[in-house]
Amino acid sequence: MLLDIHSEIYSWIRGGVFVLFLYHLIIYFQNKDKLYLFYSLYLLTMTVYLSQPLINKFIPNYSEYINFSIQFLAYGLYISFARYLLDSRANLLEWDRYFEFVTKVLFFLAPIFVLIQILLGYQFQVKAFMVIAPLISIFGLFCFYIIITKIHDSSAKYFVIATLFYLVFANITFLELFTGESVFLNVGVESLFFIYQGVAIQSIILSIIIGSIIKKIEQKSKNAEIRLAVKLKEMEELKMTVLQSQMNPHFLFNSLNSINNFVIKSDVEKASDYITKFSRLIRVILNSSMSPTSTLAEELGILSLYVKLEQMRVSGGFEYIVNVEDNLNLEPIKVPPLFLQPFIENAIWHGIMKKEGEKTIELTIKREGDTVFCIIVDNGIGINKAKELDHMSQKRKFFGAKATENRIRILYKNKDVHIETKDISSSTTSGTQVSISFPFN
C-alpha cells in the first residue's frame, strides 16, 4: 500500500492539500489579504509537486523539468507567506530584508533549473540540488532560532513546529537522492511517503493557526462594532443636548456626516476614534456652556480637541501650532466659551482647505500692557480670494465669527475690544490673519 503512489492514502493527502488551496484562495478573494494568497499558492505548488507521478503518465519526462523548480517556487511562496503570518516587517525588521533576499533567490532558481534541464540534463540538476538543499535546511534552522527568540507568540511557535515537521520529513525523502540507493523501497515504503506526511502535518497545523487568526480578527471586528454601537447610542443621547450648546451647528452636521462616511466605508476603528473624540469635546462644551465665561486655558483645551477632529476630516491633515507668551498665566483671563472656535473654523474651511500643499494654522497669545492679543494666522488662499470663490452670502458663512465678536464686546462692555481680519497674501505667499484684542482682567 505504501509503495503504490496511487493508493488511497496518497490520494487523500493530495486531495486535501488541493481543497485547502481552493479554500484559502476563496478567503483571499474575500478580504484581499496577501497572507491567504501566498499560502494558497504554496499549497497549489505542493499539489503540483505531489502529483508528479500522476502527471508523468500523460506528459513523459514531466518530472525532470518541474521536480526541483516547483520546490524552489514553493519554498519562495512559503517564506512570503511566513513574512505576512509573523509580520516580520514589524517583529523581525532587521532580518526581514534577508528573508526577502532568499525569497528572490528561490524564485530565480526555479526557471534556472528548467534551463539546466534543457541544456545540461537531469543529472546536473540533481548535483546542483544536492548543494542547495542543505543550505535551505540550514537557513530554515537559523530562521527557527530567530523566530523563537524574537517573537513570543503561540502562533510563531506552532509555525516553527509545522515547518520543522516538513523539513525533517522532506530531508528523509531526499536521503535516496543523496545516497543514490533505493533505501525505502527495500523496506516497502515509497520515498515520497515521508514528504507526503510532512506536507499533511504541516497543512493541518498551519490551518489551525490561520483559523485562530481569522477568529481573532472576527472577535476584534465584533468588539469594535459593539464599541461603535455604544458610542453611537451615546451620540443619539447627546444630539438634542448639543443643539442647545454654543457650538456651530454646521460643525455638528459635518461631524455626524463624517461619522456616517467612516461607517459606510467600513472604517470602524476610525469611526470609533472620531466618535470618542467628538463625545469628549461635546461633554467639555456642555460643561463650559453652563457658565457665561471660561478661562483662556480652558478655551485652548477645548480648541485642541476641536482641531484634532478637523485634522481627521481634512484630507492630508494640517499643522496646528499654539504659541503662548512665556510667563503669561491664562487661568485668570476670562473669555466667552468657544470664542476662538469660529475663527479657527473659518481658517480651515475658507482658507487652508482650498490650498494645495502644506497647510498650517498658527495661534499666538500674548500680553502687551493691559491688553491680551489672540492672533490667528493661516497660510490658506487669503480672505480676499475666499470671498471671490464663495458665492454664498458672506453674512451667512461668517455668522459664527460675527456672533463671537458680539459676545466678546458684551463681556468687556465694548471697552478696548478690537477684531481685525486682513489678507496677508503677497506675490510669494498667501494667507489670512485675524487679530483679537481685549482687556486683561
- Concatenate the DSSP letters of all residues of 62-81 into one string: HHHHHHHHHHHHHHHHHHHH
Long-range contacts of 215-223 (CB under 8 A, 24+ apart): 221/268
Give the Cα separation of 150 and 92 in Å (integer): 7
- Residue 182: pLDDT band with limits 50, 70, 90: low
Residues 6+ apart with CB under 8 A from 149: none
Q: What is the phi/psi pair of residue 240, to 5°?
A: -65, -35
Tell me the domains of the chain and their CATH numbers.
8-219 (1.20.1070), 243-439 (3.30.565.10)
Give percent above pLDDT 70 in the chain.
86
In this prediction, residue 391 has a pLDDT band, given cuts at 50, 70 and 90, of: low
pLDDT value of position 334: 87
Burial annotation 319-339 (CB, 10 A radius, 16+ → b, else e) = ebeeebeeeeebeebbbbbbb
Higher pLDDT: 187 or 416? It is 416
Beta bridge partners of 423: 432
Residue of 35 and 414 predicted with greater confidence: 35
Residues 187-225 pLDDT 10s = 677 778 888 899 999 999 998 999 888 888 888 888 888
Cα–Cα distance between 194 and 190 in angstroms, integer? 8
In this predicted structure, the answer to whether residue 147 has a pLDDT above a threshold of 80 is yes
Mean pLDDT in residue range 57-65 = 78
d(CA 165, CA 103): 21
Over range 79-97, report the average pLDDT: 90
> Please, which residues bridge with residue 367 across strands?
372
For position 245, what pLDDT does the model report? 46
CB atoms within 10 A of CB 177: 12
pLDDT band of 244, cuts 50, 70, 90: very low
Mean pLDDT within 29-52: 91
Report the pLDDT averaged over residues 126-136: 89
Q: What is the mean pLDDT of residues 397-403?
A: 57
Separation between Cα atoms, residue 349 and residue 420, nearest integer Å: 19
pLDDT, averaged across the chain: 83
Q: Higher pLDDT residue, 388 or 423?
A: 423
Task: Out of 38-52, 179-193, 207-221, 306-320, pick the least confident.
Answer: 179-193
Does residue 118 come out as left (phi exceeding 0), alpha (psi in the -120 to 50 range) or beta? alpha
| Least confident span in 33-37, 267-271, 346-350, 376-380 | 267-271
Looking at residue 396, its pLDDT comes to 43
* Greatest C-alpha distance within the chain: 108
Confidence (pLDDT) at 390: 66
pTM: 0.54
Per-residue pLDDT reduced to its tens digit, 285-313: 777 666 777 899 999 998 998 898 888 88
| pLDDT the model gives residue 269 | 78
- Distance in Å from the first CA to the final CA of the chain: 97
The predicted structure's pLDDT at residue 3: 67
pLDDT at site 238:
52
Pick the residue with more confidence: 42 or 394? Answer: 42
Q: What is the pLDDT at residue 242? A: 41
Q: What's the CA gap between 19 and 272, in Å, rounded?
A: 38
pLDDT of residue 353: 87
Q: Is the pLDDT score of 55 beyond 60?
A: yes
pLDDT of residue 214: 86
pLDDT, position 233? 63
Q: What is the pLDDT of residue 181?
A: 61
Position 79 scores a pLDDT of 94
Q: Summarize the confidence of residues 75-99 as an average pLDDT.
A: 91
